[in-house]
Amino acid sequence: MNILAIESSCDETAAAVIQDGRVILSSVINSQVEEHKQYGGVVPEIASRRHAENICAVVQQALDDAGETFQSIDAVAVTYAPGLIGALLVGVNYAKGVALAAGKPLIPVHHIRGHIAANYLTHPDLKPPFLCLVASGGHSHIIKVNDYTKFEIIGRTRDDAAGEAFDKAARVLGFCYPGGIYIDKAAQQGERGHYKLPKPKVNGSEFDFSFSGLKTAIINIAHHAEQKGESLEINNLAADFQGTVADILTDHLMRAAEYTHSNKIVVAGGVSANSGLRSALETACREKGYELYLPKLSLCGDNAAMIGSQAYYEYLAGKRADLSLNGVASMPVDEAFCE
Ligand code: KG4
Ligand code: ZN
């Protein structure tokens, strides 16, 4: 079954054709990041306008690359939640138009479920159940994936998402948006142990995260250095920040694995590209004897291939949308569509 998938929840206009949830026949991503960079973050109004301008060409390219047409595909899938509402609506309305004109089933896909499914494209043998850490720009969750469409939230962030923490710290260190990748590069040139950073705990849940204290600590370190006329050791501070975030995510995930009796660990979302997090998880999983699944670097960030993968399993579970499908800005990953 070949599914045309569309993703427009943030600042990437993306389309892909995916076979049986596991094979990428094509994947096209048009990123707006260069334009948003000058504002220090994504400007929702600009994102929506660029999606509207680009979506037709991006989808046509994905069809052409796969040797498909609107008539030959079996279904159309679209990210309908969560995300920037104006951005989501461009993809949702475009997908509704295709479904109506070509007479194809319309499959609604939750963006975070898509990030998790990036691992099905990377690891052909991976099947639920497993425990998944999702760390992206908007979300940080520990999720028990009981089946392809059955999710249970074990832990979540109480304030900033991990990617947001990277981006805010990056701004203090003088890097442009989105700063996660620049912190990663700087950290690889630095060493840990030069700056003391807190590992904030959350009252009432050993699996929930809190990253806002870390952000404040970085701001304070920068202010103190400025007041004393000292320069920041950027690479070392990046190494300490990245190492601390990786330690927090890894510690929580390992505790959640023990609690849920999971020995299969999966990671998803933009921050899963982080070299410090990947190596911390590799070490921890090796020590515990857990199997670790990381997405291919090209599938960590937003893309439509992951949406097409998850769509296949939503389709098998009977999920279909009609032409009243709307975009939803905020929706928990465990909330089932139409149920
Ligand atoms: O999953 P994603 O592409 O978009 C959302 O759904 O939010 O995640 C984007 C986030 C940004 O905060 C970005 O800085 C972060 O992922 N990111 C990284 C790295 N690459 C992307 N953070 C740390 N290290 C990286 N190498
Ligand atoms: Zn995302």
Based on the fold, state whether residues 133 and 269 are members of the same structural domain.
yes
Distance 164 CA to ligand 2 centre (A): 12
Distance 271 CA to ligand 2 centre (A): 10
Distances (CA, A) of 322 to 77, 82, 95, 268, 285: 12, 18, 11, 29, 43
Instruction: Indicate the helix (H) or strand (E) that contains 58.
Output: helix 44-66
Can you tell me which atom of ligand 1 is nearest the CA of 112? Answer: 6
For residue 167, which of 179, 157, 156, 175 has the smallest C-alpha distance?
179
* Interior angle at CA 330, CA 241 and CA 35, nearest 5: 60
Whether 331 maps to a domain, the answer reads no
Instruction: Give the alpha-carbon dihedral of 20, 125, 314, 87, to 10 degrees.
Output: -90
Based on the fold, state whether residues 134 and 229 are members of the same structural domain.
yes
Q: What is the pLDDT at residue 204?
A: 87
Whether 51 maps to a domain, the answer reads yes
**Chunked mean pLDDT (size 10), the chain, 339 residues:** 98 98 98 95 97 98 98 98 98 98 98 98 98 95 98 96 95 95 98 95 91 93 94 96 98 98 98 98 98 98 98 98 97 80
Q: Identify the nearest ligand to the CA of 299 by its number.
A: 1
Whether 217 maps to a domain, the answer reads yes
Can you tell me which atom of ligand 1 is nearest the CA of 9? Answer: 6
Residue 108 — φ and ψ, nearest 5°?
-85, 135
Q: What is the pLDDT at residue 41?
A: 93
Pair of tokens at residue 265: 């660990």
Instruction: Indicate the helix (H) or strand (E) that contains 113.
Output: helix 111-122
Instruction: Quote the CA–CA distance of 303 and 16 in Å, as a whole number.
Output: 8
Can you tell me which atom of ligand 1 is nearest the CA of 162? Answer: 12
**78: which DSSP letter?**
E
Based on the fold, state whether residues 102 and 242 are members of the same structural domain.
no
**Residues in Cβ contact with 97 at an 8 Å cutoff, skipping those fewer than 6 apart:** none
Q: What is the pLDDT at residue 339?
A: 44
Based on the fold, state whether residues 276 and 310 are members of the same structural domain.
no
Can you tell me which atom of ligand 1 is nearest the CA of 161? Answer: 12
289: number of Cβ within 10 Å: 7
Based on the fold, state whether residues 173 and 210 are members of the same structural domain.
yes
Based on the fold, state whether residues 70 and 139 are members of the same structural domain.
no
Residue 181 — φ and ψ, nearest 5°?
-65, -35
Which residues span the domain enclosing 72?
2-116+301-316
Q: What is the pLDDT at residue 176?
A: 94
Q: Give all strands (DSSP E) within 255-311, no chain letters.
A: 264-268, 291-293
Strand partners, 81: 110
Residue 151, CB-side half-sphere exposure with 13 Å CA sphere? 25
Based on the fold, state whether residues 269 and 134 are members of the same structural domain.
yes
**Residues in Cβ contact with 17 at an 8 Å cutoff, skipping those fewer than 6 apart:** 2, 3, 4, 5, 24, 25, 26, 62, 63, 65, 66, 68, 73, 308
Strand partners, 130: 145
What is the CATH classification number for the domain harbouring 95? 3.30.420.40
Distance 180 CA to ligand 1 centre (A): 6
Q: What is the pLDDT at residue 216?
A: 92
216: number of Cβ within 10 Å: 13
Instruction: Quote the CA–CA distance of 175 and 170 in Å, as a whole number.
Output: 5
Helix axes 162-172, 234-260, angle to 10 degrees: 170
The residues lining ligand 1, judged by C-beta closer than 6 Å to any ligand atom, are 10, 115, 136-138, 163, 166-167, 178-181, 184, 269-271, 273-274, 301-302
Q: What is the pLDDT at residue 338?
A: 60
pTM of the model: 0.97
Whether 322 maps to a domain, the answer reads no
For residue 9, which of 117, 92, 113 has the smallest C-alpha distance?
92
> Which residue from 79, 164, 166, 175 has its CB within 8 A of the most atoms of ligand 1, so it is best to mutate?
166
Q: Identify the nearest ligand to the CA of 171 by its number.
A: 1
Based on the fold, state whether residues 83 and 140 are members of the same structural domain.
no
